[in-house]
Structure 1
Amino acid sequence: MTTDVLLTGFAPFAGASVNESWEAVRLAAPLLRSGGLTVETLELPVEFDRGGDLLVEAVRHHRARLVIAVGLASGRERITPERVAVNVRDARIPDNAGASPVDEPVVADGPVGYFSTLPIKAMVSALAADGIPGAVSQTAGTYVCNDVFYTLQHLLATDASLEKIRGGFVHVPSADVVDSPTTARALVRMVEVALRREADVPLPGGAEH
């Protein structure tokens, strides 16, 4: 059976008891399945290298049509599909294994960055139509979220056997800003949009800073 979607979220980190990214994935998966989609999920560790390695294994194993990694951005007020993954690790805080890389590449000799292959503006537009706060984000940071995002896009760009798979990254706010059921509903909507269309829509989504 062909897998339609692979969704990943992260384990708790920095002393938190839950990670809203995994809560969104956990709640969204049964909603997507009830709509007839085949969905696989994976909780990734907040660890440089290991998080990306486990995602690579899952992508190769499931070969889903669509891969969306989800992470927590606790300072944001909107659900934000990411535009660009950058080839840098620069940790402000240690990961869950105690690693704190500074100014290191995610992939040695890899390109500076990769664009998401998701229709991020169409996804944000769909959220707005549903009354859910969303916006395009220009950066996934330089912590483990970006590490996983870059690893995913590098894999899809360099492995010809995976060329039909599209992927990207979405950051979600903390639950006190957008509750987990709403975030899950947003994730379902974005998956539906991404499966339905490959080309994005020419709407404003830039930033001045």
Structure 2
Amino acid sequence: MRILITGFDPFGGEHINPALEAVKLLPDKIAEHTIDKLEIPTVFHKSKDILVSRLKQYDYDIVLAIGQAGGRYELTPERVGINVDDARIADNEGNQPIDEPIQPNGEAAYFSNLPVKRITEAIKAQGVPSRLSNTAGTFVCNHILYQLGYLHATQFSNIKFGFIHVPFIPEQVTDKPEKPSMSLETIRKGLNAALEAIIESGDDIKVALGETH
């Protein structure tokens, strides 16, 4: 099995992105399974283009994207990416907003086809806080999750895909005392548990998880 795991570069004035740093710490192999790592920009459309280029180079079984969600306390596997690519958006490089419907015929949303509940429980079993999330926001993290669903539906039907948000790390909150954080090693430990749960495969567990309001 070959797995691609992506991490975003720093954005929003930050000098570090814990998603990318944690991805760098993950092993290159788990058992006989290969783990490839890819840095992608926190920029609408450009991030998708780089991802597509890599997907065309190798035959991946699984693609797992990792992103930062400052303000969250836990690792949060995402259930769904929504289509906001036809909205008026601006990228983080300060460019002017654009109107560019990338998939006018795309679905309103795409659900991750990974066992997101099993992943959530596997992370918690390692003593790492985790919660199943029903919203990936409306920034580039959601964009990539939605694009993965669209790519699965239209070009790469063999892949399983998903997304996990991670919190700030302590050095990012020295000037944000109200924001929670998690050590980079704890994030790495949680992501490793997620990968192991994905590799184990099988149907998702039947348990009620996620927000109720």
Structure 2 Cα separation of the partners of residues 99 and 74 of structure 1: 25
1:57-136 pair list within 5 angstroms: 57-89=53-85, 94-96=91-93, 98-100=95-97, 105-136=101-132
Change (3 A) 1:96 1:34: same
Separation in structure 2 between the aligned mates of residue 169 and residue 100 of structure 1, nearest angstrom: 26
Segments of 5+ residues of structure 1 without an aligned counterpart are none
Between the aligned partners of 2:137 and 2:210, the Cα distance in structure 1 is: 17
Letter in structure 2 aligned against 1:95: N
Name which of 45, 49, 55 aligns with 2:45: 49
Change (3 A) 1:131 1:145: same
Counterpart contact for 1:85–1:150, Cα < 8 Å:
yes
Aligned-partner Cα distance in 2 for 1:106–1:147:
11
Q: Deviations over 1:153-200 (max 9, x none)?
A: 1101122xx322101111000112111111111111111111111411
CA contact (8 A) 1:121 1:203 kept: yes
Whether contact under 8 Å (2:90, 2:97) holds in the other structure is: yes
Q: 1:15 aligns with which of 13, 28, 32?
A: 13
Matching residue within 159, 164, 170 for 1:170: 164
Q: Find the aligned partners of 1:99 and 1:194 in 2 and give their Cα distance.
A: 39
Runs (4+) off by over 3 Å: 89-94, 99-102
CA contact (8 A) 1:10 1:19 kept: yes
Q: TM-score, normalised by structure 2?
A: 0.87
C-alpha separation between the residues in 2 aligned to 1:140 and 1:107?
Answer: 19
RMSD in angstroms over aligned alpha carbons?
A: 2.0
Greater mean deviation of Cα atoms: 175-184 or 77-86? 175-184
Matched residues, percent identical?
A: 35
SS for the counterpart of 1:38 is strand
State the 1:149 CA deviation. Answer: 1.0
Counterpart of 1:40 in structure 2 is: 36
Deviation digits for residues 31-82 of structure 1, max 9, x if unmatched?
2526443121111011111001111111222222111010000110000010
8 A contact 1:48–1:99 mirrored in 2: no
1:5–1:66 contact (8 Å) kept in structure 2: yes
- Cα 1:131–1:181 change in 2 (3 A) is same
From the two aligned structures, give the one with the greater helix fraction. 1
Distance 1:150 1:99, change over 3 A: farther
